[in-house]
């Protein structure tokens, strides 16, 4: 970790250090322009394409399986928002941590968790990441540094600040990504977290995935300040607004943000302007918006289509190469779905395990 | 007529204090607002100011005198041009410094809060079911010191242990529990938080997920209601929801239960709230030895532990074993007094009331066995069942409301597991089913005491 962070312990002294840091960093940051696809970043672009496609196909399959009664309870799909997590995760290094809300399948796939284990958790089977005891909203992987999967709107935000605290305390140079939605952004504990993160200069990037609707409520109906990147202004947390439908733009902004935070300059707030195509959860008929609105975004701003066009235009890969990705991803999802249906339900004895760590 | 200045009550729970320093000398003139003395309470050193204009006539209690009960005359002030001869006329009598204020002295103080008046009788303490080998050297210390020592020892032993909370560092703790920790461990490990319970509780949980071992102090558990979601939904449930991946080694500690004259929002027992929830351990010690030994165990425990202290107990002294590493296992009760006629189960401050009740009962030929629960989740059912099998009668004691309380749980378990041993229904003694009132007389009426416990014990003995 850089000097600024290292030399300032948490506690009262950090307060005076912080004001200096806040002054030196402009509160509103301009997002860097999305780079064109060239030979230099061509491999990245293809990787992003494949990862976004995996999330898309996985979520479509999850939606189907929900309809077949194989997945129960709440199930929140990430379709439309894929560029956000794929772009951000690409900016991280090994050991950095992340966590998010209950709309978490995409984050798990993007941080390298196995599609089989994620899908089997959705079906409540022993092969799931939580042995079937967490479900769609509550999955974790210590191995991949994914800390959930949190079902209470906004509750993951202070926990993410706490992970950042642990990085700083240990001086391990790691950073914490904390994803939340525009709905969470109105929870009080989010601002409690902003305050402590700024006060103690914690290495955390707060990422608002502004998909325009908190369940059925459009941002303008719930938020007095709908420019979410400005929500940290009063604590001196710089904010950046990013086109969350453009994975290259997200990656470029992510690189800058990670350098800032890893450099010990304190927290950052990124607002990703994005959109979810499906309802809030599987039981949401989405009557609060028009079909035309959804269609317009799909036609004009779809993150996968946009990247596909750009890749083809750049000649980094041709149709056939992209088709090969389609087939690979389809196979992964098919295997995951089969695994999720064939993995046994947890043994009844699992009812009483994992309540406490045995001493 | 000279004015007698008495030892002021400077906090809701203060019963006595130390005249740390006189800032004036006999013969000095003072005006209202002038600082005249520094008084040290168990929580802080406070300056006392003059209320009237006058001349310092006579200092009755010299600087450095400890254990001066509140309302003890400490100084005589001459007003309206009186001279020193007026002092003799003042009906102050012989100043009584009361260097070792006995419980009788403090409990007779007219303004003493009712809750404090209940003698806790630490002298009567014996660790009957010994956690230590016979002959172990003991040192007398307060619950406050025991808690501080437990944290300091564990912080020395494990770099990942840290303390966070409101006023824990530079202020030295609102109740002085963390006194000296900032000096020893520095601001990296003893962290003053903003007043932001929901936020810093979640931050602590995240730090625990991240591999640290936080001790989160709530100034009192009343404020932890702001943080209830993070304690239950994040700390207690995540291990289960993650299929065993996400342990949360964290201690939430602070003052719980009925304080003194602070009314409904600041006087409440949360034992049953937390004991309701799987995924948590809940402990609530009575003695200083248990406070130390249980807190050390709680800090080492890989699970979230709710550590319920009691403000009125912080200043009470007990014998604590002098051992390099004294721990008390979570989930193990203690027989605080042996007896064969009736079992009284209590925890925290209620143990003191139960022991007092046992003395009242002994005078009537009833020998009560007092069990100090120490842990309310998990409960030490073997110890309880063994005692009830012997006495065949049981009374439960708690500060909290009886409805869905610890006594209700104990009653149900005894009915399920010891029905044939019982010769009488279990009786519960607890707080009245009302928000805690402020008025001194009403507060006293709302709380259980030794008399109520003894009456219940006699009832289950059909006496």
pLDDT of A26 strictly over 70: no
For chain A, give the number of residues: 359
What's the pLDDT tens digit per position in A162-171? 999 999 999 9
Tell me which DSSP letter residue A317 carries: S
- Taken in order B135, B139, B143, B145, the sign of the CA dihedral is negative
Q: Which residues pair with A272 in a beta bridge?
A: A209, A242
In contact, B395 and B427? CB cutoff 8 Å: yes
| Contact call for A195 and B238, based on CB within 8 A | no
CA A158 – CA B201 distance, rounded (Å): 8
| Beta-strand runs (E) in B166-249 | 190-192, 213-220
Range B323-326 contact pairs with CB under 8 angstroms and sequence separation of 24 or more: B323/B132, B323/B136, B325/B153, B325/B296, B326/B131, B326/B132, B326/B289, B326/B292, B326/B293, B326/B296
CATH number at residue A164: 3.40.50.970
| Contact call for A11 and B188, based on CB within 8 A | yes
A-to-B residue pairs, Cβ atoms closer than 8 angstroms: 167
| Pick from A138, A147, A357: CB nearest B302 | A357
pLDDT band at A35 (very low <50, low <70, confident <90, very high): confident
Which residues of chain A lie closer than 8 angstroms to B169, CB-CB? 11-12
Residue B246 contacts A where some CB pair is shorter than 8 Å: yes
Which of B210, B212, B227, B249 is the best substitution to test chain A (most A C-beta atoms within 10 A)? B210
CA distances from B396 to B106, B286, B306, B321, B338 (A): 28, 15, 21, 28, 16
A351 occurs within a structural domain: no
Interval B234-253 mean pLDDT? 97
| Pick from B170, B190, B202: CB nearest A159 | B202
Q: Dmax over Cα atoms in chain B, in whole Å?
A: 82
Residue bearing tokens 């230590």: B132
A39 occurs within a structural domain: yes
Q: What's the number of domains chain A is made of?
A: 1
| Contact call for B239 and A354, based on CB within 8 A | yes
In contact, A181 and A208? CB cutoff 8 Å: yes
- State residue B102's pLDDT score: 38
Residue B172 contacts A where some CB pair is shorter than 8 Å: no
- Taken in order A105, A254, A90, A245, the sign of the CA dihedral is positive
CA A199 – CA B192 distance, rounded (Å): 11
In contact, A133 and B240? CB cutoff 8 Å: yes
Q: Across the beta sheet with A146-149, what order do the strands follow?
A: A28-29, A239-243, A268-273, A204-210, A176-181, A97-100, A146-149
| Contact call for A158 and B205, based on CB within 8 A | yes
In contact, B260 and B116? CB cutoff 8 Å: yes
Q: How high is the ipTM of this complex? A: 0.88
| Pick from A164, A167, A355: CB nearest B240 | A355
Tell me which DSSP letter residue A171 carries: T
A334 occurs within a structural domain: yes
Which three-class secondary structure string do you get for B154-181?
Answer: HHHHCCCEEEEECCCCCCCCCCCCCCCH
pLDDT of A118 strictly over 60: yes
C-alpha B283, offset from chain centre:
13
| Contact call for B245 and A151, based on CB within 8 A | no
Take residue B67 and report the two structure tokens written for it.
Answer: 């254990």
What's the pLDDT tens digit per position in B213-233? 999 999 999 999 999 999 999
- State residue A13's pLDDT score: 40
Alpha carbons within 13 A on the beta-carbon side of B213? 19
In contact, B309 and B344? CB cutoff 8 Å: no
| Contact call for A162 and B205, based on CB within 8 A | yes
The three-class DSSP label of residue A97 is strand
CA A264 – CA A314 distance, rounded (Å): 37
Single out the residue of B367, B294, B391 nearest to residue B334, CA to CA.
Answer: B294
Take residue A358 and report the two structure tokens written for it.
Answer: 């045995």
pLDDT band at A331 (very low <50, low <70, confident <90, very high): very high
| Cis? peptide before B378, omega within 30° of 0 | yes
Residue bearing tokens 């951000």: A88
In contact, B351 and B374? CB cutoff 8 Å: no
- State residue B399's pLDDT score: 97
A357 occurs within a structural domain: no
Residue B226 contacts A where some CB pair is shorter than 8 Å: no
Which of A73, A131, A154, A189 is the best substitution to test chain B (most B C-beta atoms within 10 A)? A189
- State residue B89's pLDDT score: 59
What's the pLDDT tens digit per position in B187-220? 999 999 999 999 999 999 999 999 999 999 999 9
| Contact call for B194 and A160, based on CB within 8 A | no
B296: number of Cβ within 10 Å: 21
* CA end-to-end span of chain A: 35
B:270-309 residues touching chain A, CB 8 A cutoff? 278-279, 281, 301-303
Chain B nearest CA to A59, separation (Å) = 21
Contact residues for B354 (Cβ-Cβ < 8 A; gap 6+): B336, B344, B346, B368, B370, B397, B450, B453
A188-199 and A156-170 helices, crossing angle to 10°: 20
In contact, B376 and B281? CB cutoff 8 Å: no
Which three-class secondary structure string do you get for B302-371?
Answer: CCCEEEEEEHHHCCCEEEEECCCCCCCCCCCCEEEECCCCEEEEECCHHHHHHHHHHHHHHCCCCCEEEE
- State residue B132's pLDDT score: 83
- Tell me the average pLDDT of chain A: 92
CA A107 – CA A110 distance, rounded (Å): 5
Domain encompassing residue A82: 3-279+288-343
Contact residues for A292 (Cβ-Cβ < 8 A; gap 6+): none
What's the pLDDT tens digit per position in A214-251? 999 999 999 999 999 999 999 999 999 999 999 999 99
Chain B nearest CA to A99, separation (Å) = 10
Alpha carbons within 13 A on the beta-carbon side of B212? 30
What's the pLDDT tens digit per position in B97-135? 444 433 333 333 333 333 333 344 443 344 444 578 888
Take residue A157 and report the two structure tokens written for it.
Answer: 């935000």
| Contact call for A10 and B191, based on CB within 8 A | yes
Interval A260-275 mean pLDDT? 98
Residues of B with a known catalytic role: 197, 266
* CA end-to-end span of chain B: 56
Q: What are phi and psi of B281, to 5 degrees?
A: -110, 145
pLDDT band at A28 (very low <50, low <70, confident <90, very high): low
C-alpha B247, offset from chain centre:
29
Using CB atoms within 10 Å of the CB of residue B96, give its burial: 0 to 12 exposed, 13 to 18 middle, 19+ buried: middle
How many helices (H) and strands (E) chain A has is answered by 13, 9
- State residue B48's pLDDT score: 85
What's the pLDDT tens digit per position in B377-399? 999 999 999 999 999 999 999 99
Residue B202 contacts A where some CB pair is shorter than 8 Å: yes
Q: Dmax over Cα atoms in chain A, in whole Å?
A: 60
Which of B190, B198, B202 is the best substitution to test chain A (most A C-beta atoms within 10 A)? B202
Contact residues for B208 (Cβ-Cβ < 8 A; gap 6+): A162, B214, B235, B247, B248, B249, B250, B304
Residue bearing tokens 């309880």: B384
A68: number of Cβ within 10 Å: 9
CA B428 – CA A240 distance, rounded (Å): 60
Q: Which residues pair with A242 in a beta bridge?
A: A272
pLDDT of B12 strictly over 80: no
A348 occurs within a structural domain: no
Residue B157 contacts A where some CB pair is shorter than 8 Å: no
pLDDT of B348 strictly over 70: yes
CA B459 – CA B463 distance, rounded (Å): 6
Interval B262-282 mean pLDDT? 97
The three-class DSSP label of residue B14 is coil
| Contact call for B206 and A142, based on CB within 8 A | no
- State residue B130's pLDDT score: 57
CA B292 – CA A345 distance, rounded (Å): 44
Answer with the residue of higher pLDDT: A202 or B16: A202
Residue B199 contacts A where some CB pair is shorter than 8 Å: yes
Domains of chain B by range and CATH?
Answer: 3-112 (2.40.50.100), 117-122+332-460 (3.40.50.920), 137-321 (3.40.50.970)
A355 occurs within a structural domain: no
- State residue B101's pLDDT score: 37
Flag the least confident range among A81-85, B81-85, B96-100, B189-193. Answer: B96-100
A8 occurs within a structural domain: yes
In contact, A200 and A14? CB cutoff 8 Å: yes
């Amino acid at each position: 970790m850089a000097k600024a962070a290292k030399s300032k312990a948490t506690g009262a002294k950090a307060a005076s250090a912080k004001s200096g840091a806040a002054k030196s960093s402009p509160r509103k940051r301009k997002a860097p322009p999305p780079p064109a696809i060239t030979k230099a970043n061509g491999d990245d672009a293809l990787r992003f394409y494949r990862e976004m496609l995996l999330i898309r196909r996985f979520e479509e399959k999850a939606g189907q399986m929900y309809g077949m009664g194989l997945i129960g309870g709440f199930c929140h799909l990430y379709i439309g928002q894929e560029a956000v997590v794929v772009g951000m995760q690409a900016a991280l290094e090994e050991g950095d941590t992340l966590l998010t809300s209950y709309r978490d399948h995409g984050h798990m796939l993007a941080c390298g968790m196995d599609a089989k284990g994620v899908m089997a958790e959705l079906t409540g089977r022993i092969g799931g990441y939580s042995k079937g005891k967490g479900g769609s909203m509550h999955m974790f992987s210590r191995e991949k540094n994914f800390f959930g999967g949190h079902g209470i709107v906004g509750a993951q935000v202070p926990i993410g600040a706490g992970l950042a605290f642990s990085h700083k305390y240990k001086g391990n140079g790691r950073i914490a990504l904390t994803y939340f939605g525009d709905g969470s952004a109105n929870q009080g504990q989010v601002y409690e977290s902003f305050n402590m993160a700024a006060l103690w200069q914690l290495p955390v990037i707060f990422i608002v995935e502004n998909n325009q609707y908190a369940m059925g409520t459009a941002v303008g109906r719930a938020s007095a300040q709908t420019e979410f990147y400005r929500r940290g202004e009063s604590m001196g947390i710089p904010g950046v607004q990013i086109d969350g439908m453009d994975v290259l733009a997200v990656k470029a902004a992510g690189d800058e943000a990670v350098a800032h935070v890893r450099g010990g300059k304190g927290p950052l707030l990124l607002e990703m302007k994005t959109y979810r195509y499906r309802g809030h959860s599987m039981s949401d008929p989405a009557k609060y918006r028009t079909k035309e609105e959804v269609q317009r975004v799909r036609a004009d701003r779809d993150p996968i289509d946009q990247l596909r066009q750009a890749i083809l235009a750049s000649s980094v890969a041709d149709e056939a190469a992209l088709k090969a990705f389609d087939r690979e991803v389809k196979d992964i999802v098919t295997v995951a779905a089969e695994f999720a249906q064939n993995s046994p339900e947890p043994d009844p004895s699992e009812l009483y395990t994992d309540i406490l760590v045995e001493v | 007529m000279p004015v007698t200045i008495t030892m002021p009550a400077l906090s809701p729970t203060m019963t006595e204090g130390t005249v740390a320093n006189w800032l004036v000398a006999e013969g000095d003139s003072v005006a209202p607002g002038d600082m005249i003395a520094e008084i040290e309470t168990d929580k802080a050193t406070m300056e006392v100011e003059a209320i009237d204009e006058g001349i310092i006539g006579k200092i009755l209690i010299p600087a450095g005198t400890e254990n001066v009960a509140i309302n003890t005359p400490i100084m005589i002030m001459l007003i309206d041009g009186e001279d020193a001869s007026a002092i003799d006329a003042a009906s102050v009598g012989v100043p009584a410094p009361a260097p070792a204020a006995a419980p009788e002295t403090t409990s007779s103080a007219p303004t003493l809060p009712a809750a404090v008046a209940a003698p806790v009788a630490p002298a009567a303490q014996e660790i009957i079911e010994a956690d230590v080998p016979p002959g172990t050297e003991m040192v007398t210390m307060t619950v406050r010191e025991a808690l501080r020592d437990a944290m300091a020892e564990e912080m020395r032993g494990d770099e990942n242990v840290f303390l966070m909370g409101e006023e824990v560092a530079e202020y030295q703790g609102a109740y002085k529990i963390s006194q000296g920790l900032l000096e020893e461990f520095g601001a990296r490990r003893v962290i003053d938080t903003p007043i932001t319970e929901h936020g810093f509780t979640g931050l602590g949980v995240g730090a625990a997920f991240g591999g640290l071992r936080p001790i989160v102090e709530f100034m009192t558990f009343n404020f932890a209601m702001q943080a209830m979601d993070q304690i239950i939904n994040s700390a207690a449930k995540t291990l289960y929801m993650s299929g065993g991946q996400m342990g949360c080694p964290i201690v939430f500690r602070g003052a719980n239960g009925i304080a003194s004259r602070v009314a409904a929002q600041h006087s409440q027992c949360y034992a049953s709230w937390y004991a309701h929830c799987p995924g948590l351990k809940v402990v609530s010690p009575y003695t200083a030895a248990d406070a130390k030994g249980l807190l050390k165990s709680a800090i080492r425990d890989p699970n979230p532990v709710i550590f319920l202290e009691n403000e009125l107990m912080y200043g009470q002294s007990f014998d604590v074993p002098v051992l390099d590493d004294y721990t008390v296992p979570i989930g193990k009760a203690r027989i605080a007094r042996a007896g064969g006629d009736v079992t009284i189960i209590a925890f925290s401050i209620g143990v003191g009331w139960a022991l007092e009740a046992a003395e009242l009962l002994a005078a009537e030929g009833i020998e009560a066995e007092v069990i100090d629960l120490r842990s309310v989740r998990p409960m030490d059912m073997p110890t309880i069942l063994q005692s009830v099998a012997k006495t065949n009668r049981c009374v439960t004691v708690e500060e909290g409301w009886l409805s869905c309380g610890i006594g209700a749980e104990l009653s149900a378990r005894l009915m399920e597991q010891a029905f044939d041993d019982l010769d009488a229904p279990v009786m519960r003694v607890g707080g009245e089913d009302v928000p805690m009132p402020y008025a001194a007389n009403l507060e006293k009426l709302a709380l259980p005491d030794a008399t109520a416990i003894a009456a219940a014990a006699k009832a289950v003995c059909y006496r």
